[in-house]
Amino acid sequence: MNDRLDQAELGSTAPGVSVKPGTTRPGKTRWVGKAVALAVIAAVGVAAWHLHKSGTAPAAALPPTPVAVSAPLTRDIEGRLGFLGQFSAVNRVELRAQVGGTLTQIHFKDGDIVHKGDLLFEIDPEPYEIKLNEATAALASANARSALATRELARAQELQRSDAGTVQNVDQKVAEQHAAEAAVDNAKALIRDARFDLGRCKIVAPFTGRMGTHLVSIGNLVSGSRAGSSPTTLLATIVSLDPIYLDFDMSENDFAAFQRTREGQTGALADAVNISPTGDDTFKKQGTLNFIDNTLDRSSGTIHARATIPNADFSLTPGGFARVRLATSAPKPALLVPDAAVLADQTDHMVYVLGKDDVATPKKVEVGDLRGGLRVIKSGITANDKVIIDGIPAVRPGAKVAPHAGTIEFSSEQGESNGGAKS
């Protein structure tokens, strides 16, 4: 039966050829070999197709990365310190009434710029006009009594010379005359007092500045005291704007560096500062450092400093913030590269320079602050190094690159946002 199956599978055998049971026939061997070969070829084809689809097939060598290179820019840079400061008003006054009464007029709008002497508030003057009239009448009465006392004294002295009067009578008339003169002086003082109160019914701006919001409305009864000993009504506040203070704090280390640069100097502080208010990237505005506190704050380890800034256009507002630059040394040469060319490596910084055979070589550098939109390099490279300034994301350490000349541009020292590199 097995023989018949084998013949059915493989076809008839050649004449004279016998096949023993359990042995493989020649025709079957050839069929199995062909099947295995076809399976191997198919497996290799499938594997090649998968490699092609997955993109893991061996690729041709990539061309060198094109990069822009340039020598570091050399500029004379002065040493300086930077701080964050806050503006405050040189003068700030709470406007309070010196006399009490009904508020009848408000002559400004909240937030207005007012000038020294401008009328701001009016209090009902009628009670103080009455007081002035009373004092004026009292003065007239005192003058009349003084004139009478003067005439009576003259008569008493005439009678004494004719022996018709006594010395006692003359002394009495002299005392009456002095009392009358004192009454005149008192009446004059009462008039001045009444005029003073009447004048304080109009409240004017003590200096040029910006008004706050009014805190009392027309028709309210306000209380006032010339001495300020009793509670008085706060009407509004006014702050001066020109000049304006800029307050900031120096750390102990910054203060020590500042002191070292000024050893041997005498006289008042006259140090120029440049400032950049919020919303302005330039440092065009200048001022003068005019105050440094006499003690360090033990809790924060800082010392308070203050600069005076001109503000003729009233663009600076108390409470606003600004960056402050304070020069600490004379200009000296420094190397600068675009900030984008400096890479952070954990706590260190590095730049790529063009090595032998156009190989990208990393170098560790010590960086400073930004100047003209560029980063100051304190150490790590020389003025002869060719720094890679563009194409950095595709660069790998030790990889060959295709360099071409680039340009490092230094923006105006008044700003820090326009410097950089050009390919």
Q: What is the DSSP string of 66-112?
A: EEEEEPPEEEEE--EEEEEEEEEES-EEEEE-SS-EEEEEE-S-TT-
pLDDT at 5: 39
Distance CA 123, CA 96 (A): 12
Residue 8's pLDDT band, with cuts at 50, 70 and 90, is very low
Residue with tokens 């065009």: 284
Residue 337 has pLDDT above 80, yes or no: yes
Query: Taking residues 385-414, what's their average pLDDT?
Result: 85
DSSP 356-380: GGGBEEEEEEEEEEEETTEEEEEES
* 202: exposed, middle or buried (Cβ count in 10 Å: 0-12, 13-18, 19+): middle
272-280: average pLDDT: 87
Phi and psi at residue 264, to the nearest 5°: 90, -10
d(CA 340, CA 375): 9
Highest mean pLDDT among 17-26, 57-66, 88-97, 259-268: 88-97
- Least reliable range by pLDDT among 4-18, 152-166, 402-416: 4-18
Backbone φ and ψ of 339, nearest 5°: -60, -30
> Which is higher by pLDDT, 173 or 320?
320
Share of the chain above pLDDT 90, in %: 40
| Arithmetic mean of pLDDT, 242-262 | 88
Q: Domain map of the chain by residue range?
A: 2-54, 67-77+332-422, 81-89+243-327
The backbone torsions φ and ψ at residue 260, rounded to the nearest 5 degrees and listed phi first, read: -65, -35
CA distance 206 to 121: 13
Please list, residue by residue across 37-54, b when 16 or more beta carbons sit within 10 angstroms of its beta carbon and e when fewer do. Answer: eeeeeeeeeeeeeeeeee
Q: Is the pLDDT of residue 85 over 70?
A: yes
**Choice among 101-105, 305-309, 351-355, 411-415 with the minimum mean pLDDT:** 411-415
Confidence of residue 48 (pLDDT cuts 50, 70, 90): very low
The model's confidence at residue 225, banded by pLDDT at 50, 70 and 90, is confident
412 has a pLDDT exceeding 80: no
Q: Which residues contact 365 (CB under 8 A, 6 or more apart)?
A: 342, 349, 350, 351, 377, 378, 379, 380, 381
Q: What is the mean pLDDT of the chain?
A: 81
Q: How far apart are CA 219 and CA 126, in angstroms?
A: 15
Cβ-count burial 335-363 (b if 16+ within 10 Å, e if not)? bbbbbebbeeeeeebbbbbbbeeeebebb
Q: What is residue 19's predicted lDDT score, i.e. its pLDDT?
A: 37
| Residue 279 pLDDT | 82
Work out the pLDDT band at 320, boundaries 50, 70, 90: very high
pLDDT of residue 160: 74
What topology is assigned to 81-89+243-327 in CATH? Answer: Elongation Factor Tu (Ef-tu); domain 3 (2.40.30)
- The mean pLDDT value for 396-403 works out to 88
The CATH number of 67-77+332-422, from 2.40.420.20, 3.20.10.10, 3.40.50.2000, 3.60.15.10, is: 2.40.420.20
Torsion sign, CA atoms 35, 37, 40, 46: negative
Q: What is the pLDDT of residues 88-144, one digit of tens each?
A: 999 999 999 999 999 999 999 999 999 999 999 999 999 999 999 999 999 999 889
Work out the percent of the chain whose per-residue pLDDT is above 70.
79
Token pair 């924060």 is found at: 300
pLDDT in the model for residue 420: 62
The structure tokens 């013949």 sit at: 7
Residue 25 per-residue DSSP state: -
> Which tokens hold the place of 178?
């002095």
The encoded tokens of residue 76 equal: 């004379």
Q: Which of 149-153, 155-159, 206-210 has the highest mean pLDDT?
A: 206-210
Q: How far apart are CA 377 and CA 310, in angstroms?
A: 34
